[in-house]
Structure 1
Amino acid sequence: MEVKDIFRYVVEEIHTSIMATTDEDGHPVTCAIDLMDCEDDSIYFLTATGKGFYKRLSRSPHIALTALKGTDTMHSVAVSVAGEVRELGPELLPKLFEKNPYMYDIYPTEESRGVLTVFQIFRGQGEWFSLQTERIEKKNFAFGGEQVKGETYKVEEGCIGCGACQNACPRACIRMDGGHAVIDPVTCICCGNCKKVCPVGAITAGEM
C-alpha cells in the first residue's frame, strides 16, 4: 500500500480525525478535524481563523492525528500521522466545498465562509495499523521528503536460537531461520515480550 492509497482511505473512508496541537504552555490539545482532500503526498483540512485551533497552528505548525474506522477494536483500521502543516489561504475552498458539500450547511453564505482558511499537511511520518485481517497489518510510511521512522525490535548476533522469544510472542511474528530468531516487522506490535524473555539479551528495541 502506497502513501497515496493510505491518504485516500483516510479522507474517503474515515474522514474525521482526532488532531493534536499544543497550547502556549506546550500542553497537548485535541479536537475533531475533518480531512477534506488529499494528493499523493499531502492532506488538506480547513478551519476558521477565529478558532483557538487556528491560533495554535499559527504558533506551531506541527500536528499529530489519528483516524480510526471499525465496528470494534478487532475489526478496525487506525492511521496515525505526525507532521508539519502550512497555511494555504482560501483559494482551495471552492474545491473542498464541492468535494464536501455538507460544509455548505455549516457555512451557508459566502460571507460566513470569509473566515475560513485551508491548511496542508505536507511533510511527516505515519503508521497504518489494521486489525481487519487474521494477521495484523502494519506499515510505517513517510512523505514530503521525510525518512520512514517507527518502533521495531531486532534480533542481534548474540541469539542462541533457544526459541523463548518465539514462544512468548502473542502475534506469532517470530520464526526461526538457521538457528536464529527473525522478527517480522510488518506484523510485530512492539509489545516487548520477546526482549523480556530473551536469556542472553540479544533482542533490542529501537527505530527503523
Structure 2
Amino acid sequence: MEVKDIFSLLVKEIHSTVFATVDKNGFPHTCVIDLMLCDDSSIYFLTSRGKEFYTRLLNQEYVSLSGMKGNDTLSTVVVSVRGKIRELGGGLVGKVFEQNTYMERIYPNEISRKVLTVFQIYEGEGELFDLRQQPPFRESFSFGGADITQAGYHITNDCRQCGKCVQACPSGCIEEGTPFFIHEENCIHCGTCYEICPFSAVKKKKEEIDRR
C-alpha cells in the first residue's frame, strides 16, 4: 500500500488510536486520540490547550501511536506510526469539524472551540500488520523524508541448510536456498529461528547495522 492509502485507513476507518507520550519526569502515558485529517504525507490530530496531553506534546518532539480495526485478533489490521510533530494552531479546526461532524456535540459553540489546536505528524515511519490473511502480512513505510528502521531477522552465509528454522517457523516464511531466506513481509518477528539455529546463522538486522 502507498503511504497515502495507509493514512486514509488510519484516519477514515480506524480513526481512534492510542497515543504514547512521556511527561517531564520521564513517566509514560497513553491516551486515545482521534485522527482527524490526512494528506499524502502527514496525519493531523486535535487537542485542547487545557489538557495534560497538550503539555506533554509541547515537551517532546515525537509521538508514537497505534490503531487497529477488526472484530477479533485474526480479523485485525494494525497500523503503528512513530513521528515528529509540530503545532499548527487553530487554522484547521474548521476543516476538522467539517469532516468530523460528531465534534460539534463535544465542542458545541465557537467559544469552546477557541481552545482547540491542531498538530501535524509530518515526518516518521510506521508499520502495517495484517492478520486477516495467513500468513500475516507486514509492511514498513516512512514519510516526510524519514528512513525506515531495520527490524526483524536475516539469514547469513553461515547457514548450513539444516532446515531446523523452516520446520520451526510459525508463519512459514523461510524459503530454502543457499543460504535460506526469510520473506520479511510474512515474518512475525518472533525470533524462533534466531534462537534455534545451531550455527548462529540467523542475525537481528538492527544488530548487524549497529556493528557496521
Shift of 1:134: 2.0
The two structures have a TM-score, normalised by structure 1, of 0.97
**Quick check: 1:140–1:150 contact (8 Å CA) kept in 2?**
no
Which letter maps to 1:194?
A: C
Shift of 1:148: 1.1
Equivalent residue number for residue 72 of structure 1: 72
Equivalent residue number for residue 130 of structure 2: 130
CA offsets 1:8-35 (integer angstroms, 9 cap, x no match): 0010110000001101111111100000
Shift of 1:180: 2.5
**Quick check: 1:174–1:182 contact (8 Å CA) kept in 2?**
yes
Q: Distance in 1 between matches of 2:113 and 2:202?
A: 55
Equivalent residue number for residue 108 of structure 2: 108
Q: Distance in 2 between matches of 1:21 and 1:150?
A: 23
CA offsets 1:44-90 (integer angstroms, 9 cap, x no match): 00000000000010111311100011100111011111111100000
Which letter maps to 2:179?
A: H
Q: Does 1:143 align with 2:143?
A: yes
Q: Distance in 1 between matches of 2:66 and 2:87?
A: 20
**Quick check: 1:127–1:140 contact (8 Å CA) kept in 2?**
yes
Q: Distance in 1 between matches of 2:43 and 2:126?
A: 12
Q: Distance in 1 between matches of 2:205 and 2:176?
A: 21
Which letter maps to 1:187?
A: N
Report the structure, 1 or 2, having the larger strand content: 1
Q: Secondary structure of 1:111's match?
A: helix
Equivalent residue number for residue 162 of structure 1: 162
The two structures have a TM-score, normalised by structure 2, of 0.95
Q: Which structure 2 residue ranges, 5 or more long, are not aligned?
A: none
Q: Which structure 1 residue ranges, 5 or more long, are not aligned?
A: none
Which letter maps to 2:39?
A: E
How many equivalent pairs are there? 207
Q: Distance in 1 between matches of 2:17 and 2:39?
A: 17
Q: Does 1:10 align with 2:48?
A: no
